[in-house]
A = this chain, B = another copy of it.
């Protein structure tokens, strides 16, 4: 703990500047919050551990941003605007003040981008790896939370952006993909960056509130996460795997090595929106997404529950995935 600020100094000098309304300037033990009239609160938490959810030598500001963004992604999927967050940090002894200042810079930048300030939290010492827990609070207009359990038979299944970039980025990072000269540098950069820094789909919040029956963010792999959503909604689905949106980079890599497709659609850390929209609303949903400059792709349809979801491959055959989800756990 040499060269480390005391907890009080850390709060006053590094974290207090990130605090916002309700935080009481971090001079109290707790935050004081009043949701605006006509709103409900959405609360979610995500914990990240060095060596499990990020690499210990990732840039500190990007680790901070990732820990906020994975939570903002959850809020966005629920149709909630970010409101504030509590941050608990377990710091190993070798964590320097410079590292913490860079970490705080990342929080500050994203706090501004996403409209979310620090409300409180805790800082403790750990003999283990760095760990970050963010409990994020969001706001939805009364009754407009988009839940996970409310998909209906006949809904169209949409996914935002592209799937698998982050999982392939992680595989590259772990040297689990044999590099070849056909692999473009810009593909690698795109995939590695996707892993490092999620892009939560805040732009879809209004479209989800207005048009979606059910929604969640894709964090543990598309196949597994859709399976979960369908299960808790007591429905099933038929999905055409060829429709799953891939980036140029992911498609390029998969063209070279086709077993990477499974990794792309069952790997984690996409932080895209997976939602179901009734057919009567799908044109408006697509228009709203286009207006927000976010691609959404119709990948399949919700069916009555009689069986597990059916994944149709390019040959029209039902495919079985050996492992549907990525598990950090």
A228 to B12, CA, bound (A): 12
* A47 x B135 contact (CB < 8 A): no
* A128 x B129 contact (CB < 8 A): yes
**Is A101 at the interface (CB under 8 A from chain B)?**
no
Q: Write the nearest CB–CB distance from A28 to chain B, whole angstroms.
A: 4
A115 to B100, CA, bound (A): 37
* Residue ID in chain B nearest A22 by CB atoms: B43
Sort chain A's interface into a size bin. Answer: 35 or more
* Residue ID in chain B nearest A129 by CB atoms: B128
* A52 x B127 contact (CB < 8 A): yes
A127: which B residues are within 8 A, CB to CB? 49, 51-52, 128-129
Q: Write the nearest CB–CB distance from A271 to chain B, whole angstroms.
A: 12
Which of A143-151, A152-160, A190-198, A203-211 lies at the interface with chain B?
A143-151
A135 to B121, CA, bound (A): 8
Copy number in the complex reads 2
Q: Write the nearest CB–CB distance from A31 to chain B, whole angstroms.
A: 4
Which of A70-78, A178-186, A247-255, A293-301 lies at the interface with chain B?
A70-78
**Is A53 at the interface (CB under 8 A from chain B)?**
yes
Q: Known contacts being A24-B149, A80-B30, is A7 close to B327, with CB within 8 Å? A: yes
A52 to B93, CA, bound (A): 13
Interface residues of A in 37-89 (CB under 8 A from B): 40-49, 51-53, 74-75, 77-78, 80, 86-89
Interface residues of A in 99-131 (CB under 8 A from B): 119-129, 131
A122: which B residues are within 8 A, CB to CB? 45-47, 133
**Is A35 at the interface (CB under 8 A from chain B)?**
yes
**Is A286 at the interface (CB under 8 A from chain B)?**
no
**Is A319 at the interface (CB under 8 A from chain B)?**
no
**Is A317 at the interface (CB under 8 A from chain B)?**
no
A90: which B residues are within 8 A, CB to CB? 47, 49, 131
Partner of A120, one of B31, B45, B53, B142: B45
Q: Known contacts being A30-B75, A145-B32, A216-B29, is A124 close to B329, with CB within 8 Å? A: yes
* A120 x B43 contact (CB < 8 A): yes
**Is A277 at the interface (CB under 8 A from chain B)?**
no
Select the residue from A28, A87, A149 with max chain B CB neighbours within 10 A: A28
Partner of A27, one of B7, B28, B232: B232
* Residue ID in chain B nearest A73 by CB atoms: B29
**Is A217 at the interface (CB under 8 A from chain B)?**
yes
Partner of A125, one of B44, B52, B232: B52
A216 to B138, CA, bound (A): 27
A78: which B residues are within 8 A, CB to CB? 28-30
A86: which B residues are within 8 A, CB to CB? 43-45, 135
A228 to B47, CA, bound (A): 30
Q: Known contacts being A28-B149, A43-B33, A232-B27, is A53 close to B124, with CB within 8 Å? A: yes
A324 to B120, CA, bound (A): 23
Partner of A31, one of B44, B129, B216, B329: B44
* A27 x B124 contact (CB < 8 A): no
